[in-house]
A and B are shown apart, each in its own frame.
Chain A
Amino acid sequence: VPPATFDQESESTAVEAPRRGHYKIFLGMAAGVGKTYRMLQEGHAEADAGRDVVIGYLEPHERAETSAQASGLEELPRRMVEIRGGATVSEMDLPGLLRRAPELALIDELAHTNPPGLEHDKRYEDIAAVLAAGIDVFSTVNVQHLESLNDQVAELTGVRVRETVPDKVLGGADEVVLIDLTPEALILRLREGKIYPTQNIDAALNNFFKIENLAALREVSLRQVAEEVESKRLVFAEAESVGTRDAERVSDDAAKAVGERLLALVRPQASSQRLVRRAWRSAQRLGTDLDLLWVKPPGAPIDGECERQVTALRRLASVLGATFLIEEHDDVVVGAARVARERGSTYIMVGESPPARGLARLREPLPQRLMRATPPGVDVRIVANRGQRDEEGAP
């Protein structure tokens, strides 16, 4: 009889735990974009498909459209909780929900803070308990509640929210759905009274609901979801890379090929600024990130005019939102190829080289060497020298 393997042992002794529920979060840039509405819509679709769906907690904010959308779905009765001063508030009944044990629970406002005395301090912890019981959960949150974005959003909008949620809550969701709306459309909804009662509209318009605030929040939300998608894709790719079939590898490569990244090879010289400008414009057109790289000869000091130009390039990169990198290597091509591989660059831009003299004429030109040294599929583009072009084209 062969000795029992770890797998055989664990298989025979393990008690079957309930599977964790599927977690879907509807993320929005601000109140009123339609997160709760969409959650309810999808809840209806699930119920129509024959699933047992219950509203665990709904915050209708006195919005008629939201309340109408909730009708037809079973709503769990809330429990009344006494808080300081003897007042009572209605809260989600977590024990009641776990006893009811539906297939899918709709729980609004995951960033909510529970009053003292309940099972958990925060609603996202209640949701974790629901998920652990094997119940699927749909929930909602606004981007400004995410812990890592709290400061950034406060700087952008001047409004700081106190109820924050760790980023891992969003990262742990199986699906994140961004509910996107243009700032103009959201303001129109606000003016039409679809978000706040009429008496609060002017105050909202004068404070949080400004076009520039909403545009900034929208950008933050879009970036956040893009990063989530990217991180999930990378995790998926890592999992797939062990013993995958060729077809899966091809699909992974195709996904990688979607992202572009531009690398501009610069030197600490004023003339490099033209190259940076060109590279930045290309990056803007492609909607991609830009890296500026100086391959510095090992041991070469950064002082005098060189230091001045390095500082200027660093500042320019900061203005443009680009990344300035210094790589020490005695061969520009090898250094650049290494960085291109590390950063996943798909384009490399180089300035025009001066005419080769002496034995350098026998050497293969830089662009060709770069093409050979970089991974397949990396394009190399040469930016022409301004002076020469102007002389040719001067009237």
Chain B
Amino acid sequence: VSVLALIRLEHILVVVALILGGVGGFWLAKSRHGRKAPAEPEAVHHILLPFTGTEISRRAVDAALRLSRAEGATLMPAYLAEVPKSLPLDCPIPKEAGRAMAMLEAIEQRAAAKGVPVDARIERGRTYRHALARLLSEEDFDRVVVSAGATGTQGLSGDDLVWLLERAPAEVMILRPGPEDHRVVVPAHQTNGNGVVA
């Protein structure tokens, strides 16, 4: 009797082990499948924030960030770089890139604090407008945020903004100059490290 009981107990243990193994395997497969999902969400919405120079209006950055956050969009800060006519348009521009990197780093830092994903660009052109035109033709975005104030938009004239309104295949949001425009986002090495000058 005791031998029979042991055999039954062994069968029960095998069955239990099989069930546990099956459940474990299913859970593992599910977790692996979940892990293999794209690490980043499919970028459907992009908000373009073109700028030039070594500072950008904090109001413009914050407005773009607020919009991006509200719409679950990715912010696309784009540094517009002028390439002299004596150089090929597609040549490396290390000096400009250095400025752009510092600015993009500062914007990304601010965006990270607000939980907004960033997909930055550096676009070359013979003029700022040319760079902007190349950007419009190469990238997809749903909105453009640009500040009409002097700060951070030294390169974009009133004519450029009108041109942008006519040509941009997306909604353009031009921020009128405001009293807070002395507050700018600059590279971290010009500040106490947080990339913002108040």
Contact = CB atoms under 8 A, between A and B. Distances in A.
Interface of A: 155-158, 212, 269-271, 273-274, 277, 280-281, 284, 304-305, 308, 311-312, 315-316, 318-321, 354, 357-360, 386-387, 390, 394
A378 to B, nearest CB: 25
Given A155-B86, A284-B94, A357-B31, A386 B101 contact: no
Contacts of B140: 308
Going nearest first, the 5 A-B pairs with the smallest beta carbon separation are A321-B92, A270-B119, A390-B112, A319-B122, A277-B101
B94 A273 contact: no
B118 interface: yes
Majority DSSP secondary structure for residues of A touching B: helix
Interface string B107-118: 011001100011
B112 A386 contact: yes
Contacts of A277: 101, 104-105
Given A270-B118, A273-B119, A390-B109, A319 B92 contact: yes
Contacts of B120: 270, 273
A318 B90 contact: yes
A287 to B, nearest CB: 11
28 contacts: A155-B87, A156-B86, A157-B86, A270-B74, A271-B40, A273-B104, A277-B101, A277-B104, A281-B101, A284-B94, A304-B42, A305-B43, A308-B43, A311-B138, A316-B121, A318-B92, A319-B81, A319-B96, A319-B97, A319-B122, A320-B97, A321-B94, A354-B39, A358-B31, A358-B32, A386-B108, A386-B112, A390-B109
B124 interface: yes
Contact of B119 (A312, A318, A390): A312
B112 A270 contact: no
Contacts of A156: 86-87
B51 to A, nearest CB: 16
Nearest to B41: A305
B179 interface: no
B112 A357 contact: no
Contacts of A280: 97, 101
Interface string B13-29: 00000000000000010
A284 B98 contact: yes
Contacts of B94: 284, 320-321
A101 to B, nearest CB: 47
A320 B86 contact: no
